[in-house]
């Protein structure tokens, strides 16, 4: 449905995109993940024909963004980060205006209006002035304008920016519903957002693709060690000393003490699992073993690793896995 090849964008001497290539299949929800200024919005503006790239190629639903921009716009629904709303219009009048601009009329217009109003939950505010709406309803109205013409591809730039937790959950649900019959690209720098909604993640950093795959595939790529949560009844100093002596163990990080048990994060060399040795050690020392589980990288650690930033130290105390 979308194919991007060697896409490059220069803003004067600044390189916003540097030979970016990726594909999106029909029906996929793909998250563009990256820090602010990574190139996510630039990519979306090129895909929606708001910007022309310096070089490279982008094809949306079979149409080249450079050669057939009007056809691209017909098959694309776009929710930019800055909402494209006319604040003095009613929701009803605004959506009718957008629909007519998209070429809808008569029964088709009425049908699509009814559909997007229900899908986006706008019935309670249908006759209200947009200026009077809450942030959540403004976001829904802007999403409705992106869907009014029944596009094949929906492109969402920071769709939950500024929303409260309840509104975020509602928008996430809407995105998952869209994926039933549309292809969706959403950009965000919020890790939980992409984890909750995307089938696949494309990580952009400094204008380059540094990761492309499912969460599990990206974790595997970023993985540089084996990690275990080890919780036993032994004394802290004794457990650390004995576990550190196991062949392949690189680090034993004390987590905390609770109800007679000490918890540790045990890190061993990549390809050297030590769960069996830890289990045997606990049995030999007569420690009560409460927990021995493998701990994969969190999405945050995966992201930081792939974007070549320093990975945070992991702590487990009271709450599981809180970053210092």
Residues 224-263 as b or e (16 or more Cβ within 10 Å = b): eebbbbbbbbbeeeebbebbeebeebeebebbeeeeebbb
pLDDT value of residue 35: 83
pLDDT value of residue 189: 76
From CA 231, how far away is CA 229, in angstroms rounded? 7
CB atoms within 10 A of CB 319: 7
pLDDT value of residue 322: 36
Domain 224-295 has CATH 3.40.50.620: no
pTM of the model: 0.77
**What are the start and end residues of each CATH 3.40.50.300 domain in the chain?**
2-220
From CA 127, how far away is CA 160, in angstroms rounded? 24
pLDDT value of residue 252: 93
Nearest to 80 by CA among 142, 123, 23: 142
pLDDT value of residue 311: 40
Count of all residues that appear for the chain in the document = 324
pLDDT value of residue 202: 93
**What are the start and end residues of each CATH 3.30.70.3190 domain in the chain?**
224-295
pLDDT in tens, 52-96: 999 999 999 999 999 999 999 999 999 998 999 999 999 999 999
pLDDT value of residue 321: 33
pLDDT value of residue 229: 94
Q: Which residues of the chain have pLDDT under 70?
A: 308-324
pLDDT value of residue 233: 93
C-beta of residue 54 within 8 angstroms of C-beta of residue 226: no
Q: Which CATH architecture fits 2-220?
A: 3-Layer(aba) Sandwich (3.40)
């Amino acid at each position: 449905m979308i194919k991007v090849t060697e896409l490059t964008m220069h803003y004067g001497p600044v390189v916003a995109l540097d030979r970016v290539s990726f594909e999106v299949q029909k029906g996929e929800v793909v998250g563009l993940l990256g820090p602010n200024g990574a190139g996510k919005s630039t990519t979306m503006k090129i895909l929606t024909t708001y910007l022309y790239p310096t070089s490279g190629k982008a094809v949306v639903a079979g149409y080249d963004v450079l050669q057939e921009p009007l056809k691209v716009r017909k098959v694309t629904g776009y929710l930019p980060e800055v909402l494209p709303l006319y604040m003095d219009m009613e929701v009803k009048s605004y959506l009718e205006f957008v629909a007519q601009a998209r070429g809808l009329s008569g029964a088709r217009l009425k049908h699509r209006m009814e559909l997007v109003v229900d899908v986006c939950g706008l019935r309670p505010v249908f006759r209200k002035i947009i200026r009077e709406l809450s942030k959540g309803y403004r976001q829904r109205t802007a999403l409705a304008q992106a869907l009014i013409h029944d596009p094949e591809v929906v492109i969402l730039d920071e769709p939950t920016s500024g929303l409260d937790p309840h509104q975020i959950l509602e928008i996430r649900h809407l995105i998952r519903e869209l994926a039933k019959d549309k292809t969706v690209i959403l950009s965000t720098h919020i890790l939980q957002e992409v984890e909750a909604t995307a089938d696949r993640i494309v990580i952009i950093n400094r204008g380059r693709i540094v990761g492309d795959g499912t969460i599990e595939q990206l974790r595997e790529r970023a993985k540089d060690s084996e990690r275990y949560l080890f919780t036993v009844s032994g004394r802290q100093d004794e457990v650390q000393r004995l576990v550190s002596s196991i062949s392949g163990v690189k680090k034993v990080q004390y987590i905390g003490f609770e109800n007679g048990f000490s918890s540790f994060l045990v890190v061993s060399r990549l390809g050297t699992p030590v769960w069996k040795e830890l289990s045997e050690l606990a049995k030999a020392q007569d420690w009560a073993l409460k927990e021995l589980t493998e701990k994969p990288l969190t999405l945050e650690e995966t992201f930081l690793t792939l974007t070549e930033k320093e990975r945070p130290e992991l702590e487990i105390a009271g709450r599981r896995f809180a970053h210092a």
